[in-house]
Chains A and B, each alone.
Chain A
Amino acid sequence: MIVLLEAKKLRHTGYFPAFLGGTALAAAIPPIHMSVRSDTFTAQPGDPFRILTDANWQLMTMLNLFLVICCTCMMYYTEFADNGAQKMETLPVTESRLFCAKLLLFLSCIAVMLLLETIVLALCGKYWFADYEMRLSALLKTCGFSFAAALPTVILMLLFASVCKNMWVSLGIGVLFMFTCSMFPKDSLFFSLCPFNSPYLTFAELADAETQRRFLSACAAESVLFLAVKLLMIKLRRCFS
């Protein structure tokens, strides 16, 4: 119910067009890339889906991250503009429920986005590679992994957006984090676990089941930590306002 209400608030803010536009742009990268340089990729040995993600996922994730930063800022911008948040406080809605509703709405958008992008990657594989066979379970696994990897970043960004009353501050912090994290060395697992860095990783890149399990549990732990920080901040809000 409250999730629907949140969706209604965002209807006139350009949030959904921005989401669709961003997703379309990110999903357009693999077909464009393939149509320009298809020979280089089809000649490579190995799993076609892996080749496609290796070639495109970095750029797609960068677009996705920008979309996450903009859209999370927008979600709380509707609250802080014209003192909407103050009005919400007089209603029988707790702040934590509001946060969870926004998070739920945002995560469902992210799920749709990642699903569409995975489908496009798979279709590209089907179209350009003769030996690619589409397996639904593998696609769902990849998509689910990307979703889990994006989770800490999304929660942290929504946390920033909910704390900063001015949109440029949360936007600035988001861009700053993205910029700083992108300068960390890419080859170590520890640095790729940082929020804003973990979405760049793909399922195929992690070698064995043990590393995958470790990576996923670390993402889950980060997500729980950020959620706990948010809930704690709501409890201690007198210290912050």
Chain B
Amino acid sequence: MNFLCLIGAERKKLRRTHIFLLLLLPVVFLWIPGIIHADINFDRRGIPITPEKNFFIQGFMGMAWFMIPASLVICTILLIQTERSQRGMLKMLSLPVNMAVLNLTKFTMLLCLLAVQMVLSVGAYYLSALAASKLQHYNLLLEPLYVIRTTAQIYAGAVPVAAVFWMLAVWIRTPVLSAGIGLISIVPSVLIIQSKFFYLFPASYPFYLLMVAYGKAAKGIFHTTVKWLPLLPATILITLAALALSCLRFGASDRKG
């Protein structure tokens, strides 16, 4: 079975898992307070930022800091559990499927689910910005290019953390530990992005990239440029290492019987 065929099979497995609802609801809940409290965007408190950018960045903050890692944890649990229940992995082992390819397929599905959530959140942003504009009589909409570019950056920043969470889920068989480590890693990222060694902690990348966008929009809040030099090599290295490690171990415990 080739990669595309496996992707199709994985998509079928996800059909009745309610995962899309679980991805949609946080996106909706995220923007409701944004619409209700849209007037605070005009109160700049000395920060030189336009209200429309303030609305976008404040709204995405909860997303980049909390919801992206949390959604990734939930999706990894889902993708792992679809095989673990009813001895699914044993059945997969009896098929002509390369375990490393299956592992990478599942990781691709993880990235697809996150992409769906990002698309949903961009859609939700435009709807809520439209509603808030009507309420406040001020155009809060940003040009699509800026929104899509920032969202794509956050999404790209989430790839290493997805790889790390996936590796944890493959290596640690008890879901409470792998999910726990994933969720707990959300907590310190606010502190870590301000330190010099933020690039060693993948869970903070999406939030770091959003904060750089904030720094660009409002001078003096945060760095205005991404420190690509330690970040980019670290990102690639962490992603590749995590993927290699997960390929090594995927299905290993079922193979022993």
Query: Which residues of chain A have a CB within 8 Å of any CB of chain B?
Result: 13-15, 17-18, 21-22, 25, 59, 62-63, 66-67, 69-71, 73-74, 77, 81-82, 166-169, 171-173, 175-176, 179-180, 182-184
Contact = CB atoms under 8 A, between A and B. Distances in A.
A240 to B, nearest CB: 15
B22 A168 contact: yes
Contacts of A172: 19, 22, 74
Contact of B29 (A62, A81, A176): A176
Contacts of B78: 166, 168
Contacts, number: 92
A14 B177 contact: yes
19 contacts: A14-B176, A14-B177, A15-B176, A17-B177, A18-B176, A63-B184, A77-B175, A77-B176, A167-B81, A168-B22, A169-B18, A171-B77, A175-B26, A175-B74, A179-B29, A179-B30, A179-B70, A180-B29, A183-B33
B17 interface: yes
B67 interface: yes
A70 to B, nearest CB: 4
A77 B84 CA distance: 12
A171 B70 CA distance: 9
A138 to B, nearest CB: 28
Nearest to B29: A180
Nearest to B79: A168
A171 B25 contact: no
Nearest to A15: B176
Contacts of B19: 168, 172
Contacts of B180: 18, 21-22, 66-67, 70
Contacts of A15: 176
Interface string B63-89: 000110010011101100100110000
**Most chain A C-beta atoms within 10 Å of own C-beta, residue among B17, B73, B75, B176:** B176
B176 A70 contact: yes
Contacts of A21: 180
B241 interface: no
Nearest to A81: B85
